[in-house]
Structures are given as C-alpha cells and as structure tokens.
A and B are shown apart, each in its own frame.
Chain A
C-alpha cells in the first residue's frame, strides 16, 4: 500500500512538473491574467476608490464578496472548534496549585482548603506545565503593547502599504495568545473572556455584511460603498475608500476574536481552565 501511494505521488508530481513548462513566465505581460484584468485594476483603482495599494482595492472593493465569505469561513472555523472541543461542565479539580510570589514556592491546595482571601501574593498556576521565568514574562509583558500598536497600524495603513484587516487581526490575536503563553491561560481569559471573543467575532462579520446590506437597502448593489457618501459627507470616490476601511475593521475584529477563541479551546481541550 505504501509503495502504491509513493508511485501515485511520484507519477502525479512528474505530470504536474511537466505541465509547469507551459505556464506563462513570472511577470509575463502577455499572459492571459495580465492582459485583461490586471491592467484594468492598475489603471482604475486610484480613479475608482482613491486607494494607492491595488491589492487592498481588489480585495475589499472589486472582490468584496470573496473577502466577506472568507471572514464567514473563519467564523465557521471558530464555531467548529467550539462545537467539537468545548466541554459544557467541568468538575472542580481535586487540587489546585498556587505560587507564593515573594518566595517562589509552590503550594498545593487540596479540596476544602482555602487560601487567605484577596491575597495578592498567591498566584494560581497550572498543574502540569509550570515553568516560571521572570525574564520571559516581563519581556512579553513589555512587548505586547507594541505588537498591538503595530497591528492597529497595519489595519489602518492597509490603503497605502501591505497589510490590512486580515493580517492586522491575526497580529492582534497573536498578542493575546502571547499573553496566554507567557503567563497562563487564565491570565489571558481574565483580559479577554470567551464570551467577548464570540461576540466580537459575530460583530466583525456583521460590520462587513451590514455595510453591504446598507448599500443594498439604499438602492445600489450589495457592497457598493459609494452609497456611504451621503452618510459620511464625502464624495463617492472617498466613500469607497472609507468603506474599505470600515470593512477592514470588521475583518480585523472577527479574525482577532476567532484566533483567540480557537486557541482558548485548543490549548485547554475545551475546558478553558488551564492550558499551554
């Protein structure tokens, strides 16, 4: 069976490699793709939507449907992880572990025993994987705000430079995941609860689809951002530029929330008490 599989892979690979010889050269101006569509986008994207970055104009404006359903697919991925992994009720663990911060000793609290209430010196830690590294934790704490600022820059600057809602959202989600890795899952959940991530994922998709639906209700095509001109008080070209920013924000919110949501469920096997 293994040999048969290898044979299939080799034959298919050789056939595919032979076919690549017929491909158009990289950057060939006479290839079918760059003869019809690309010149149109290159010439008209500034005139149509005042967006210097053609990729952003194509992704969010000319092919708005594509990106909208991409966002929906990401939401579906988050929902799938949730429905497969999430455990509804978790029994309380037999014993919990705490770290006494000033002396760096670990305490095991068995069922029934309680710590002094409202104590600042005891920190809950995971039972299986508990390395404590002050340098690592402090460095990550210092770096996270800069990562988030960079993510916001990527989202807001998508009109002019590479990036946009998707990349910015992933970077924003990665900053929360970094917090979960460098401290523990509970610390991240305390900052961003699971309910909030679900709500934000829904809101993000709603912003995108709602912008499209607004255009449809105003009597133009679905996702035609020029209908926003009257609301925003700008001309139609600038309205398309602003519309791109609005939907990019929606994408960023949705992607960020879903990344964090998937991580919460995956790293703790759906229990969301302690994880990686």
Chain B
C-alpha cells in the first residue's frame, strides 16, 4: 500500500536534487536543497529510521538551509555559469 507514496516521494527527491544543481538562482537552489532534505526525511521515516529522519529534518532541512541562505546573502544571487 505504501509503494505509491514511496515512488512519488522518490521522484520528488530526484526532481529537487536535479533542480538544486541546475537552477541559476542561488537562493532558489538553497530552498530546493532544503526541500530535498525534507523529502529525504520523509523517506527515512517511511523506512522506520526515525532517529535518522529527525536528524535530517533538524540539520538538513532546518539549519543547513538557513546557513546556505545566509551565505547567499553575502554573495551575488545569480550563479555565473
């Protein structure tokens, strides 16, 4: 019963991952990276690794997104290449 949700989440993970490296807007890229982390967190939780999911939600989706955004604010917002 769960495999449809798994498949959709996995597809979204891949989309977010590819989006994060191909988007020119660095702020958008860091937000996409946060979304990627959150979807990974959902996947961990589905697989029963709740501790890992919790860490991914706090560190990956929470603090590292904020740190990425803070770093973007110190540089230009558009990627050069």
Contacts and interface: CB of A to CB of B under 8 A. Distances in A.
Interface residues of B, number: 18
A40 interface: no
B58 to A, nearest CB: 4
B66 A263 contact: yes
B79 interface: no
Contacts of B67: 262-263, 266
B22 interface: no
A269 B74 contact: yes
B51 A163 contact: yes
Interface in B44-60: 47-48, 50-51, 53-55, 58-59
Interface of B is mostly: helix
Interface in A161-177: 162-164, 166-167, 170-171, 173-174, 177
A129 B55 CA distance: 31
A259 B63 contact: yes
Contact of B66 (A55, A59, A166, A177): A177
Contacts of B59: 170
A181 interface: yes
B73 A162 contact: no
